[in-house]
Amino acid sequence: MRSTLLPRLRAALVGATLAACSLAAPAATLRVASGFDPQTMDPHALALLYHSRVVYQVYDSLVGRDADFKLEPALALSWSQPTPTSWRFKLRPNVKFHDGSAMTADDVVFSIERAVAPPSQRAFQIQGVTGARQVDELTVDLLLATPDAVLPEKMQYISIMSRAWAQKHGVEKSQDFNAKQETFTVRHANGTGPYRLERYEPEVTAVLKAHPQWWGRADKRNGNVDEVRFVPIRSDATRLAALASGEVDLVLDPPFQDVERLQREGQQKLTQVADLGQQYIAFDQQRGELEFADVKGRNPFKDIRVRRAVYHALNMDLITQKVLRGQAQPTGAFLSTKVDGSLPELDKRLPHDPAKARALLAEAGYPNGFAVTWDCLNIAYREKVCQAAAAMLTQVGIRVTLRSMTTTQFVPKLTQGTASMIEYGWTPQTDAWSSLNGLFRTWSAGGQGAYNAGRYSNPQLDTLIDNIRVEPDITRRRAMVGVALRLVADDLPVVPLYRRMLSWAMNKKVSLVHWPNDTVELRWVSVK
């Protein structure tokens, strides 16, 4: 009798603890559906939205954000800049990893060094950090090659891991996602976050359980969710059907064509916020000959006239109204106007002008156009946008063959720069530098240009991006961001498409905070 009673008592005590810490509401399970799968549980292997959405719940970072998306303490209680080339973080005491071990300053040092070292795809976010140094048991210095006035703003998704756990499982380096490496961290995790990983089956489910010893358990903002089940459901109709039937509680990407109906019918709750990110088309600007094209010995996309032709050929007003059902806004900017230093005047698109597009193609030496392959993610709304845009491009002579692919196929094409044309989305941080460094700086194995899908290169822009990182004067820094964005607008390495209205559909019993980076903070969710 004793052997069966003790586990029951332990379970009851844990359940009571969780319930007491969730504003006296009964503990609840939240079932979340999305068209995307996180792909891996390694926190440094990827830097994409659908990865961050899940991993961020399991691994804490030194800094967090409040309900208004402003910086707030997390694993670090405070930070300061003792020298121009270092930042000091005072750590929160008595923090436990999910395996029960204590988080130490050495774990922070290890995590920072892991995040900046290849093959980490988080390195571009904190480029210039050369390492970390333990000052004492609760103090860590991040060391910089050159000054960085806004480093804390970049730290939200730089997760802290256990050195001992990583060594035990042979994962001192991050998973090499592009090389399709399989490591222990693909399916396992050990963070300090509000939720621990119970189970991860790629493309099937990720199950998280509330961590009873989480340092923030007494936060008054917390909800009552003690279990979260993430389910990737590719079909738009199936996701909404699952919500309507009660099989899931929250859909993070309801189809655009259904948003108005959901608002009108009122059977489910809908929250909306303007996206901090946006969608682009990137072009191969590296290879001398465009792959799978019918022009030999040439790469049309190296000619800015061809890239401008693509821009003028696209009627984004029509696409956002008809395909995206008014749930998106055409954009000409390369970063959201909410990003510090962005210039609102750059958000105006070049006019839709098919005749000008054809003239530009002829001027560039392609009077009959050319054929090209275009890689697009097989998520319904993105695929439909690609189809509509492909038809418009064909009308001006750019004969597009769409290649629709899964996330697993798509991500390596994006990060390895192997696509001729590729449609992708980017959600920036509120500081512009990491986006400029990730999207537009010349690619290098050290993390620069990690998401520069077309391998665009401009030495003048590279220098400016490097100078922005080290500029201590915020006013001057903002002005430099504006200059960089004008350079991007002049060079047109990518064609901006649209910025979504982020909509989440949920059962009426669900209450949450909707961040503009399309990430849900699960610890604040309540289910009645």
Share of the chain above pLDDT 70, in %: 95
DSSP state of 209: E
CA distance from start to end of the chain: 36
pLDDT digits (tens, 9 = 90+) for 453-480: 999 999 999 999 999 988 888 899 999 9
Residue 29: phi and psi, rounded to 5, are -105, 135
Taking 70 as the threshold, does the pLDDT of residue 24 lie above it? no
Q: Which residues pair with 370 in a beta bridge?
A: 398
pLDDT digits (tens, 9 = 90+) for 412-441: 899 899 999 999 999 888 889 989 999 999
DSSP state of 457: -
Quote the CA–CA distance of 31 and 377 in Å, as a whole number.
24
H/E element, 422: strand 421-426
Count other Cβ atoms within 10 Å, centred on residue 355: 9
3-state helix, strand, coil in the chain (%, to 5): 35, 25, 40
pLDDT digits (tens, 9 = 90+) for 304-345: 999 999 999 999 999 999 999 999 999 999 988 888 889 899
| Residue positions counted in the chain | 528
Query: What's the chain's Rg over C-alpha atoms?
Result: 24
Q: Per residue in 245-258, is it b (16+ CB within 10 Å) or e — as a string?
A: eeebbbbbbbbbbb
pLDDT digits (tens, 9 = 90+) for 36-83: 999 999 999 998 888 999 999 999 999 999 998 999 999 999 999 999
**What 3-state DSSP class applies to 148?**
coil
Helical axes 474-491 vs 459-470, angle rounded to 10° = 160
pLDDT in the model for residue 59? 98
pLDDT in the model for residue 25? 66
What pTM value is reported for the model? Answer: 0.77
Nearest to residue 173, comparing CAs of 188, 161, 157?
A: 161
Residue 260: phi and psi, rounded to 5, are -60, -40
pLDDT digits (tens, 9 = 90+) for 259-309: 989 989 999 999 999 888 899 999 999 999 998 899 999 999 999 999 999
pLDDT in the model for residue 12? 40
| Per-residue confidence band for 19, with pLDDT thresholds at 50, 70 and 90 | very low
For residue 219, give both structure tokens: 């936060």
For residue 106, give both structure tokens: 């050495």
pLDDT digits (tens, 9 = 90+) for 354-371: 999 999 999 999 999 999
| Residue 230 and residue 205 in contact, taking contact as beta carbons nearer than 8 Å | yes
DSSP state of 102: B
Structural domains in the chain, sorted by start: 2-249+507-527 (3.40.190.10), 278-501 (3.10.105.10)
pLDDT in the model for residue 17? 43
Q: Which residues pair with 498 in a beta bridge?
A: 330
pLDDT in the model for residue 78? 98
Q: How many CA atoms lie within 13 A of 378 on its CB side?
A: 13
| Residue 351 and residue 318 in contact, taking contact as beta carbons nearer than 8 Å | no
pLDDT digits (tens, 9 = 90+) for 165-224: 999 999 999 999 989 999 999 999 999 999 999 999 999 999 999 999 999 999 999 999
Share of the chain above pLDDT 90, in %: 78
| Residue 490 and residue 476 in contact, taking contact as beta carbons nearer than 8 Å | no
Quote the CA–CA distance of 371 and 359 in Å, as a whole number.
17
Quote the CA–CA distance of 114 and 41 in Å, as a whole number.
15
